[in-house]
Amino acid sequence: MLKNFIITLAMIGTLWSTPISFVFHGEVLSSTRGSVAHAEILPPVSTKSTVVPTNAPTEDDFTDDLDCTIWNGADGIMDCIAMIGYGMFYVPTSWVLIAAGGVFDALLAFSLSPTLLNQGYVKTTWGAIRDMANLVFILILLWIALATILNIGGIQLKQAVANVIIIALLINFSYFFTRVIIDASNVVAFEFYSAAAAGTSRGNHVKNVTEYRVSEAITNGIAPQKLLSKQVFDEWKKKSDSGNGILFFIFLLGGIINLFAAYVLFYAGFLMLGRVIAFVFLIIASPLAFIAYALPKGGSFTSSWWNQLLNQAMVAPVFLFFLYIIIKLAGATATFF
């Protein structure tokens, strides 16, 4: 799973290295040319959206010169094509990106909350598994006693009893030990979580954890309003023979980038959700992991359980640490793009 988060971080880094990012906000597009009115199109990103950067240009910055009329000849056709690109590609994908940002923020906050792990059914199920492990522990003690009396198996009584007693203690305190590792992981992760979202707005509390707008920090770091300003668009239009028709390709590319960004946020969010679910099963299975160590060929299960626990515990702190670094680097270098 840690490998999946590294891949996700690489994709987030790719978003920052992209020369154009299209996440704008503004009022509903409504302007007129002569007697023909432009169709009203919802803004791609509302000002209250999770992933909205501040001071982004409005749609009118890019559509004031558009005249989607048949009376304007070829230029009017190109303007209509540009409007189609905006309405069909850019607007829908922008709302998908908004949804992805909200899902990512909510699942990230939820993954750092202990609420799910504190549910009664988790400890109840763990208790049932622990009782089963204790039964196996009693059977192991009986086997050691019989083997010692009958002098079979070459068992060293003192060493065997000491090992079994240690394992029995670990079984009965496995919930506590597992939660210590998980909670320590979440405490460290929360520090990077709050640091990465510094300066952004806060959402509602998600299961007793403040939902910081990390997706907003990502977008602010990219600073898309600087990457595609009215001045930049005018320069592109001067160098292009297609005039306003270039807007179609800009909005098409913007839609592709929006979908890629949404995919990254959805992917990262559901990986964080999977981390919490994995913790539930790891807690429940913790007594089996310790009792397996005392059984022949059971060490592989114990080793696998430890690897999964440590892997899942490291995921959030490592992911949020590098995300914090990426956000800070992006913010520091935004003026150079």
Q: Report the Cα–Cα distance between both ends of the chain, in Å, rounded.
A: 33
Separation in Å, CA 307 to CA 289, 300, 301: 11, 10, 10
Q: How many helices (H) and strands (E) does the chain have?
A: 12, 4
111-142 per-position pLDDT tens digit: 888 888 999 999 999 999 999 988 888 888 88
All structural domains of the chain with their residue ranges:
2-336
202 vs 296: which has the higher pLDDT: 296
pLDDT of residue 195: 84
Residues above pLDDT 90, as percent of the chain: 21
pLDDT digits (tens, 9 = 90+) for 35-79: 332 333 334 443 334 344 334 344 545 555 555 666 665 666 767
Token pair of 337 as six digits: 């793009």
Residues 229-239, mean pLDDT to the nearest whole number? 60
Estimate to the nearest angstrom the gap between the alpha carbon of 220 and the chain centroid: 17
Residue 51: CA count within 13 A, CB half-sphere: 29
Q: Residue 206 forms beta bridges with which residues?
A: 209
* Whole-structure pTM value: 0.71
3-state secondary structure 133-151: HHHHHHHHHHHHHHHHHHC
6 backbone dihedrals φ, ψ, rounded to 5°: -65, -40
Say if residue 144's pLDDT is above 50.
yes
Q: Provide the Cα torsion 7, 13, 19, 21; round to 10°.
A: 90
Is the pLDDT at 303 greater than 70? The verdict is: yes
Give me the residues paired with residue 212 across strands. 202
